[in-house]
Chains A and B, each alone.
Chain A
Amino acid sequence: MDLMGFFLETEFWMACIRMATPLIFGTLGELVCERAGVVNLGIEGIMAAGCMGGWMWVYLGGSLWGGIVFAAFVGALFGLLHSLFTVYLGLSQHVTGLGITMLGSSLSTYVFRMLLPKATTPPKIIPFQTLDIPFFKDIPFLEQIIFSQTTLTYLAFAAIIMVAFILFKTPLGLALRMVGENPLAVEAQGLSVFYLRTLAVCAGSAMMAVGGAFLTMSAFDAYYIGMVNGRGWICIALVVFSSWKPSKALAGCLLFAAFDAIQMRVQQQAGMAIPTSFIS
């Protein structure tokens, strides 16, 4: 096995960035939630719901972007449910989150089976195509790695910058971080803890769902059961790994995506043996 060889191949690096996209969306979503003081263990189910919702929208005749918006909407709905339980009723965030995960993943498979009961081979849609950025595509080597991805990947990178900007440069971001650090201070300021946390969880969950939708609408063209395959949990670990900073989250996502890409190449199940060492 020539391990060093494929680090030089463009396909490897392209796969790296492609695999990082759902992780980036998921990690950013979880990061926003946790910055506002809500651990969202529903991420796995929300990604599954986005995965199925977006795909189904397109399969039933909607447009690709409509599917993304629909996935985000579904994600936000689950986020609203989570925040109603944890913020408004003050129930355990962990248990509620697991409940949301179970609900999200089971509902998405159930709805899939209900709408398409006879599908034995997964039906397909036409996913997002790769989009070459005109000016940059003449740069050698990088041209394919960075500038020949699908639109959602560019969107993921834009989202990192946007989340970082909103969190650290705007009054809204300050309020969000404050509600995570010290909710009493937020009350004293005359802002609503409930409103801020709900906003953060809904926005975060919408991002997770878009991450899930990437799987069916860009990386692949069909939905199958168990598609998210633990990516949500990896995102939770990545948030800790990135010490709640969007820029470090990018590094973490790329690293994990690299493991994924290596794993695909080596075709063994060695990749996942590594995550435990990333946790503290």
Chain B
Amino acid sequence: MLMIKGALGSKFTVSETLTRATPLIFTGLAAAVAFRAKLWNIGAEGQFYIGACVAVLLGTRGEMLSPFVMIPYLFAAGALAGGLFLLVPTFLKTHLNVDEVVTTLLLNFVVLLFVNWLVFGPWKDPMSMGWPQSEPVLDSAILPVLMAKTRFHLGFVIAVLSAVFVWWFMAKTTWGFEIRAVGSSIKASTFAGMPVNKTIIRTALISGGLAAMAGVSELCGVKGYLTTDLSPGFGYTGIVVAMLAALHPLGVVASALFVAIIYIGADSMSRAINISNYIADVTTAVSLLSVLVAVFLTRYRIKRG
């Protein structure tokens, strides 16, 4: 009860919940698309930071661009970089049969250390009083705030639009159908003449792109500059979000809101009744495991004869 009140009790907390849900929608979509094709992309965390890096790289220069050009340009460039980044493990999977779980997972650490090096080294902001952070992006790159005096920003709208787009793409287009078919059975899709490897590569581009958009939105919407704690595990939580939504793109929006409520609610619980806010992590982990069992039970049928 206190959790709900803390997350939805006032205008401010609602805005915080929506802000927290924004990157989760993106990373949840990234996991949902990839897992549909049985491409186990555990690297959303890394792609998130790739997106954030691109946003800093391009968002700190180009003063003459207006926000109307700058913001779509940053999202597109970030998504492209994230997609290309996921291609590396994907090519290893399709051509050399390397397990993508291990590669994507370990690339997270490589990217994080790369970011660490960037913010301590070449990208360190001389004006940051010694804090390890990059220079802030230009004003034209900052996502406009949708509610006065809160952090709730345009990224949420972009995230919801992406969810609708991904739903349309997965449900109504040939490519989306191929992605679902490859996920259901590689043998059957090969037999049906579908380009299996191409489909997996397309999936990787979309999934990596979505995860990177989370990074762009978080950087341009919330922080404005790059640090190594930009993401408190959004990439991993995205997997939970996707599983809670049973990999349905529109469901991802709802489950991202649910997980955001847990986190923001736990934060206010820790202020109000002095309970550790790590309870949020425990709750999400338990809900992930419960949903796994629940999905199993819905498919459980007693065989006759």
> Is B99 within 8 A of A240, CB to CB?
yes
Contact of A99 with B278 at beta-carbon distance under 8 Å, contacts A41-B101, A236-B102, A269-B117 already known:
no
Given contacts A39-B101, A99-B285, A102-B240, contact A109 B278 (CB under 8 A): yes
A106 at the interface (CB under 8 A from B): yes
Contact with B along A55-99 (1 / 0, CB 8 A): 000000000000000000000000001000100011110111011
Is B278 touching A233 in the complex (CB atoms < 8 A)? no
Are A233 and B109 closer than 8 Å at their CB atoms? yes
Closest to B287 in A: A99
Whether the pair B281, A110 counts as a contact (CB closer than 8 A) is yes
Please judge, given known A-B contacts A98-B236, A99-B285, A113-B278, whether A273 and B110 are in contact too, CB under 8 Å.
yes
Does A107 belong to the interface (CB within 8 Å)? yes
Q: How large is the interface on A (under 10, 10 to 19, 20 to 34, 35 or more residues)?
A: 35 or more
Which residues of chain A are within 8 angstroms of B289 by Cβ–Cβ distance?
81, 85, 96, 99-100, 103
Question: How many contacts A-B (CB < 8 Å)?
Answer: 101
Residues 287-305 (chain B) with a chain A CB within 8 angstroms: 288-289, 292-293, 295-296
Is A91 touching B288 in the complex (CB atoms < 8 A)?
no
* Residue numbers in A under 8 Å from B99 (CB-CB): 240
Decide: A114 and B236 in contact? CB cutoff 8 A.
no
Q: A107 vs B274: C-alpha distance in the bound complex, in angstroms? A: 17
- Determine whether the beta carbon of B96 is less than 8 Å from that of A276: no
A272 at the interface (CB under 8 A from B): yes
Complex interface: chain B residues within 8 A of A110 (CB): 276, 278-279, 281-282
B231 close to A (CB within 8 Å): no
Q: Which B residues are CB-close (under 8 A) to A39?
A: 101
State whether the Cβ of B147 lies closer than 8 Å to any Cβ in chain A: no
For A21-59 the 0/1 string (1 means CB < 8 A from B) is: 000000000000000000101000000000000000000
User: Contacts A237-B106, A272-B113, A273-B110; is A106 near B292 (CB within 8 Å)?
Assistant: no
Is B236's CB under 8 angstroms from A109's CB? no
- The answer to whether A89 and B293 touch across the interface, beta carbons within 8 angstroms, is yes
Does B197 count as interface, using CB distance less than 8 angstroms? Answer: no
In the complex with contacts A113-B276, A233-B109, A99-B281 CB distance below 8 A: no
A4 CB-CB contact with B under 8 Å:
no
A230 (CB) vs chain B CBs: closest residue:
B109
Contact flags (1/0) for B178-198 with A, using CB distance below 8 Å? 000000000000000000000
Complex contact A269–B116 (CB within 8 A): yes
The answer, among B42, B113, B278, B286, for a CB contact under 8 Å with A269, is: B113
Chain A residues with CB below 8 A from B114, complex form:
273
Rounded to whole Å, the gap between the CB of A256 and the closest CB of chain B is: 12
Nearest CB to that of B35 among chain A residues?
A: A95
Bits for A235-262, please: 1 = Cβ < 8 Å to B, else 0. Answer: 0110010000000000000000000000
Q: Flag whether A267 is at the interface (Cβ < 8 A).
A: no
Contact B282 A106 (CB under 8 A): yes
Q: Please, which residues of chain B bring their CB within 8 A of the CB of A94?
A: 40, 42, 101
Smallest CB-CB separation from B112: which chain A residue? A272
28 contacts between A and B (CB under 8 A): A41-B101, A85-B289, A85-B292, A89-B293, A91-B293, A92-B292, A94-B40, A94-B42, A95-B239, A95-B292, A96-B289, A99-B240, A99-B285, A99-B292, A103-B285, A106-B285, A109-B281, A110-B281, A110-B282, A233-B106, A236-B102, A237-B102, A272-B110, A275-B109, A276-B106, A276-B110, A279-B92, A280-B98
Interface residues of A (CB under 8 A from B): 39, 41, 81, 85, 89-92, 94-96, 98-100, 102-103, 105-107, 109-110, 113-114, 117, 230, 233-234, 236-237, 240, 269, 272-273, 275-276, 279-280
List the 10 closest pairs (A to B, CB-CB), nearest first: A106-B281, A102-B285, A113-B276, A103-B285, A110-B278, A99-B288, A106-B282, A99-B289, A109-B278, A272-B113
